Amino acid sequence: MNLEELHKIEVIADKPYPVFLGVPIEDLGEYLHAQLKDVEHILIITHQVVAELYAERLKKGLLDYRVNLLTVPAGESEKSLERLSQLTTAALRCGADRKTLVIALGGGVIGDLAGFFASVFMRGLRFIQVPTTLLAQVDSSIGGKVAVNHPAGKNILGAFHPPLAVWTDFKTLESLPWAEVENGLAESIKHAMSANPDLFEFFEKQEQSIKQRDPLIWSEMVTRSSSVKIGIVSEDEREQGIRALLNLGHSFGHALETEMNYRGVTHGQGVSIGLVAASYLAKIKGLMTSEEVSRVEQLLTNFGLPTKIARKGLDPKILLQHMQTDKKNQGGRKILILPKGIGQAVISKECTDPEILNAWEQVI
């Protein structure tokens, strides 16, 4: 393997790191040998199902290291302090020390949990993201944000802890159930809505090819979508400005996930409904036309993503309360990201509670 010939995009940050695209998972070991001379012990953190699919392939390149595999149950609810404590106990039993390298093998939940573990264990370990889902490849593995949840809200406890590298093997997407694909599509469409109108048109034109899992179209989709995230993170690593635009749909989506205790709605479904709610709110604020809102709803519907949540007893006022804990808020004011047409987003500090409630009522 010639490291120089690998397709990669550099994230410009305090500590720059590469995002490798379309690389075999077996070749990660060769990269580690070339880049890190002081690593002897590796902790792979993953889910059991992912381990059965990819752990042996990953380990093929790690034969010269002492490797321990730690598995956690699947589900957003596993991003908890209780699970973090259990991982810490397991890591100590494996003899982990400050030179241990953590590899996050899996989707967004694993990336967040393993990354946050790496950020706090013995005051910080180095780690590598090996994203195996579409959501993780286009979004959550890039940018260095790691976190666990709290009963008060999603990702309340977190850190900026960038990986040494993101190692993306497109072949891991072949085993994804369509429900997992939808999670990634929601984030990719969010990227298009917030920063790239051409990408939005790509999704409209390539709907059938994407549904048929055309390998060339999928590699283009991942590359173009992740490039949006990389570009914005490189401009604003610590989310002091434009990076907040990538939270489009998330204030609504996270509130929904929190209220439903991360059951009955996936992250992608929450984001999808959030994108529609944010679009209705943008229409109220004069930022979008009815035709543009319909275009957003149609694209999400075409990919099987929900534009409404059908659940008895779901109270918009309770959802509004959950939005009080959003990390973007300042001085008691709700700060929301709203689309401005298709392909641009803005930070809004002027949304009133009645306007937000109206947007919730459009999607419940």
The two structure tokens encoding residue 264: 């009955």
Residue ranges covered by each domain of the chain:
3-175, 178-363
Give the residue-averaged pLDDT of 56-70. 96
The label of the residue with tokens 């490798």 reads 20
Q: Which two tokens stand for residue 220?
A: 């283009």
CATH topology of domain 178-363: Dehydroquinate synthase-like, alpha domain (1.20.1090)
Residue 353 CB neighbours (<10 A)? 11
Q: Which CATH number fits domain 3-175: 1.10.1490.10, 3.40.50.1970, 2.60.40.3140, 3.30.200.20?
A: 3.40.50.1970
Q: Can you tell me the distance from the alpha carbon of 105 to that of 223, in angstroms, rounded to the nearest whole number?
A: 19
Residue 126 has pLDDT above 80, yes or no: yes
Per-residue pLDDT at 47 exceeds 80: yes
Q: What is d(CA 296, CA 279) in angstroms, rounded to the nearest whole number?
A: 8
Q: What is the mean pLDDT of the chain?
A: 94
Q: In terms of C-beta density within 10 A (0-12 exposed, 13-18 middle, 19 or more buried), how is residue 10 classed?
A: exposed
Tokens encoding 194: 């917030």
Q: Measured on CA atoms in the order 149, 155, 161, 165, is the torsion positive or negative?
A: positive
Look-up: residue for tokens 């459009």?
362
What is the set of active-site residues? Answer: 123, 145, 187, 229, 239, 243, 247, 250, 254, 267
Measure Cα distances from 342 to 190, 194, 357, 363 in Å: 10, 7, 23, 19
| Interacting residues of 270 by C-beta distance below 8 A, sequence separation 6+ | 252, 253, 254, 256, 257
pLDDT at 341 over 80: yes
Q: How confident is the model at residue 1 (pLDDT cuts 50, 70, 90)?
A: low
Phi and psi based region of residue 249 (left: phi greater than 0; alpha: psi -120 to 50; beta: remaining): left
Query: What's at 92, amino acid-wise?
Result: L
Terminal alpha carbon distance of the chain: 52
Reply yes or no on whether the pLDDT at 331 is more than 70. no
65: pLDDT strictly greater than 80: yes
For 174-218, how does the pLDDT look when each residue is reduced to its tens digit (9 = 90+)?
989 998 999 999 999 999 999 999 999 999 999 999 999 999 999
d(CA 192, CA 120): 34
**Distance in angstroms (rounded) separating the CA atoms of residues 63 and 187:** 35
* Alpha carbon distance 141, 238 (integer Å): 15
- CA dist., res. 308 & res. 280, Å (int): 12
Provide the β-strand partners of residue 338.
346
Q: How far apart are CA 294 and CA 300, in angstroms?
A: 10
Q: How confident is the model at residue 257, as a pLDDT?
A: 92
* pLDDT, position 333: 83
Please tell me the total number of residues recorded for the chain in this structure: 364
Rounded-to-integer distance, Cα 309 and Cα 300, Å: 14
Please name the amino acid found at residue 246.
L
The encoded tokens of residue 71 equal: 């598995």
